[in-house]
Structure formats: C-alpha cells, structure tokens
Amino acid sequence: MIRRLVVLVTVLCTNFLLSGCSIAGTPEWDHPVKYRLRVSVPRHYDAWVKPVQFEATGERAWWHPIGITGCCWKAPGNGNSDLDPMPDYIHVTWFSFAEQQSYTRLIHIPDPEALRERMEQPAPVQRNGKIINMPRDTLVLGLAPGGTVIMWIMNWAETAIEVGRYKAVPFDDDVRYEGALEAYMEREGDYLKQHGLQLDRW
C-alpha cells in the first residue's frame, strides 16, 4: 500500500510540476532560489576578506574568494558562495583596515538543516510596487571592528534575522596590505579621526 502511494505521489508531481507540486511542501518563489553566503562590513570600516572556507562534514569541503569589502552593515555584501550542501563549518579570516589588524574565526553550525529550514521560510519584500515572495536565501557574515562576527539570514536588508554572534581571534598576518591600506586611509582617514572605531555599536 505504501509503495503504491509513493508511486502515485511521484506521478502526480511529475504531471503537475509546473503547478508547484512538492512532497516536502516547499513554497513557490517569484524568482529562482540559490542559497549562498556573502560578507558585509560597516560603512567606513572596509576589510580585506580572504577566501572563506566551508565544510559539510563527510560530504564536501570548498572555498570561495571574497576580497576587499566595504559597506554596508546588516545587508547583503560581497561574494556569492554556493551553500550546497549547507556547511556545518565556516572559516572566515579578514584584515581590518581601520585597525590594521587581522582576525580569524571558525564558526560551527550545529544543525545545518535546521538553519536551511529557517532560511526557507517565506520573507516577502516590496520592490517596484510589487510584493515579491522569496525565502531568506542569503547567509551573511558581518565583520566589525574588534573582531565581532554577526551571522544573519536575509534576502534584502529589511528581512534580516540575526542567527549567530561570535568573537574572532586577532593574529599577526604575514601578508602586506600597504597599497590597499594607503588608498583606504585616503578615503576614510578623516572619518576615523573624528569617530574612531565605535566598538560598542556592533
């Protein structure tokens, strides 16, 4: 009986695929969905982010380049790394131009599928006068002065939900960033003199 039911459901989903039939009940979205990771930093506090490393234990290990990242906090930032499968470990390392300090953090996600389920919940947003039905398909790591790392899920900034907060470890990096640092200080030096690092904001 169970076997016949499975066959029936499979046939129905095949016949009505365009109408959105799904055994798991996944909602239909207004745009194709691809779950991904991006990195953001606060305005005026640019960072050089080294390739982010991922591991789905027993399945896959991979990495994705990010590079210089600037603006904006609590919003989708740079990078577009594929999260398939959802990793249980994320390793992020960056150089904070404002502090001239490098940081690193290994983030453990204890239940990756539970996180994906949260990301798959509908999070409608209004764009160009229309309501767009989308999940929170982007996992964002926010990197702030002092080594603060905040993890959000979102599609656009207004749907962001904080799902993790961590403290990175400072370390001495052998890499030299003189050219990028000089350009950064030309842009943001006056702001830093006036406002400092504002470590209590994050």
Tokens 């740079």 locate to: 78
| Residues in Cβ contact with 71 at an 8 Å cutoff, skipping those fewer than 6 apart | 40, 41, 42, 43, 44, 46, 77
List pLDDT tens digits, range 124-140: 999 899 999 999 999 99
Predicted pLDDT of residue 3: 40
CA–CA distance, 63 with 56 (Å, rounded to integer): 12
Predicted pLDDT of residue 31: 75
What is the residue type of 167?
K
List pLDDT tens digits, range 36-58: 999 999 999 999 999 999 999 99
Q: Report the first-to-last Cα separation within the chain, whole angstroms.
A: 57
Q: Which of 50, 39, 61 is nearest to 144 (CA)?
A: 39
Predicted pLDDT of residue 28: 80
66 in Cβ contact with 52 (< 8 Å): yes
Strand boundaries in 41-192, DSSP class E: 47-49, 52-56, 60-64, 67-69, 78-82, 89-96, 101-108, 125-127, 130-132, 138-144, 148-154, 161-167, 169-171
Respond yes or no on whether the N-terminal peptide bond of residue 42 is cis (omega within 30° of 0): no
Q: Pairing between strand 36-40 and 138-144?
A: parallel
Q: Which residues of the chain have pLDDT under 50?
A: 1-24
List pLDDT tens digits, range 9-22: 333 333 323 333 33
